[in-house]
Amino acid sequence: LAYLAREGARGYLYDEGYVFTAIKDDGLSLPPREEGIFSVFCLGPEAHGVSIRGAQYPLDRAPLSPFFPLGVSNHFQGQPVEIEVEDGCLLIGWER
């Protein structure tokens, strides 16, 4: 997924309960849901300018490290969730 994101494409991995994708220096919009969990992980070195809007735990242009789980287990709030990273690669997973 990180390779695809680096090349400007997007791929998805599905299992019975979750969907995963990666973004690099890009953004992703998740449709509104009344409930459910999503997580954002840093892939590779520290990501900079990470923003999460529309979720229970927002971020505004924060750094995200692969060594501290700041983006784990966030919650949908009935509105679209916007995730952006200015510099770096993120793995994003959400409940189906």
- What is the rounded average pLDDT of the residues 70-74? 96
pLDDT band at 13 (very low <50, low <70, confident <90, very high): very high
Using one digit for the tens of pLDDT, what is the confidence trace for 33-53?
Answer: 999 999 999 999 999 999 999
pLDDT band at 27 (very low <50, low <70, confident <90, very high): very high
Alpha-carbon distance of 25 to 5, in angstroms, equals 9
Torsion of CA 42, 48, 54, 55, to 10 degrees: 40
Joined tokens for residue 43:
């892939």
